[in-house]
Amino acid sequence: MSNKQTKWLPIPSVAEGMGNLEQAAAILRKGGLVAIPTETVYGLAADATNPQAVTSIFEAKGRPQDNPLIVHIHDIQALSGPSREIPESALLLARHFWPGPLTMILPKADCIPSVTSAGLDTVAIRLPSHPIARALIRQAGIPLAAPSANRSGSPSPTTALHCLHDLEGRVDAIIDGGPCQVGVESTVISLVGKPRLLRPGAITAEKIRSLLPDLEIDPAVVQQPPPDAQVASPGMKYKHYAPHCPVFLVDGPVEAFPNWVNAQAAQEPGIFALCSDEDLPLLHCPALSLGPLADGKAQASHLFGVLRELDEKGAKKAYARCPRQEGIGLALYNRLIRAAAFHIIKI
């Protein structure tokens, strides 16, 4: 492991952070690593066109080499840099949802080295809406490869402190831009061939279908791919987002969850409930709420912080209320079943 002096760069807003923004841009131009805020989660950024810089992202995260990275750009015109062919469907989605939490898989241009795309001839591209991320990409003058800024396998970081916890000494700088608003990673959709949803996010399948009615949902979004399967998005085959304590998803009628967990707590000391605000007064065991039951956005924004809190609080095991698989709930479900290593208890 490298032993870098990690700089802490507070950038409360683009206007207030000009000096630190230029420092971060200079580090990136020289091939360094900077953890940056985006509207979804913090990203671990490096020059997407520099193979050595990109290799150091994989090393810092402990990420498997066959898991490709997303290339971040700062405006729609820049789409023609990393991509060699832009279908009409990509322009349609870009006009509606960019800047924002949507990543599109397109044919890769030669300026993106194969280490960035993990040897694939496609590339994932995203135009984030976070003002600091966009200003930094513009200032650096290069597209930025950026996976989530966590150690591979652990919950994605939604604050600069989460990045420091996972990556201190492994990155050149961390920009503190405050907590991320969306809280789950971008929606990933492949536009090579038929449109296919590979990872659900805040830009929901329903919203994309209103523009591309033939959108398919990859089976790996909600199911465990078989061990030897060729998955469309390599990231989907890895265990993900997991705290150290085992997590189980509990699926059943809405009102049954607190009673079921209370009965379980009577037999199993040290368990935690991952629940909604409405459950809190009904539960007799330690519990962490994601937010109001009907507020999927709030729940998404708290998810990764709460998964990290389970470990901080020394939970032995967690039982999580199973989200409904619609709207942003599909993104919650997709992250939670991976955190739970696909263990679902039907009640």
Q: Which positions touch ligand TXA (CB under 6 A)? A: 38, 40-41, 43, 67-70, 101, 103, 105, 117, 120, 122-124, 126, 128, 146-148, 185-186, 188, 198-199, 232-235
The amino acid sitting at 125 is: I
148 binds Mg ion (CB under 5 A): yes
Pairing type for strands 344-346 and 287-289 reads unpaired
Cis peptide bond prior to 323, omega within 30° of 0: no
Q: Smallest gap, in angstroms, from Cβ of residue 160 to Mg ion? A: 17
Q: Smallest gap, in angstroms, from Cβ of residue 278 to Mg ion? A: 30
50 binds Mg ion (CB under 5 A): no
**CA dist list (Å): 265 to 256, 277, 309, 342:** 14, 19, 19, 22
| DSSP category for residue 278 | G
Strand order in the sheet with 271-275: 287-289, 271-275, 317-321, 247-251, 344-346
Q: Which is nearer to Mg ion, 118 or 345 (CB)?
A: 118
Bridge partners of 12? none
- Partner whose binding site includes residue 123, from ligand TXA, Mg ion, none (CB under 5 to 8 Å by kind): ligand TXA
- Partner whose binding site includes residue 6, from ligand TXA, Mg ion, none (CB under 5 to 8 Å by kind): none
Question: Cα separation of 277 and 36, whole Å?
Answer: 31
Bridge partners of 188? 103, 199
- Partner whose binding site includes residue 274, from Mg ion, ligand TXA, none (CB under 5 to 8 Å by kind): none
Q: Smallest gap, in angstroms, from Cβ of residue 241 to ligand TXA? A: 10
**CA dist list (Å): 311 to 22, 245, 270, 318:** 36, 7, 12, 10
Q: Which is nearer to ligand TXA, 156 or 264 (CB)?
A: 156
Q: Which is nearer to ligand TXA, 17 or 82 (CB)?
A: 82
In residues, how long is the chain?
A: 347
Q: Smallest gap, in angstroms, from Cβ of residue 175 to ligand TXA? A: 12
Span near Mg ion by CB under 5 A; candidates 7-15, 112-120, 146-154, 194-202:
146-154
Residue nearest to Mg ion (CB): 148
Provide the token pair at 159.
């604050």
Q: Which residues bind Mg ion (CB under 5 A)?
A: 148
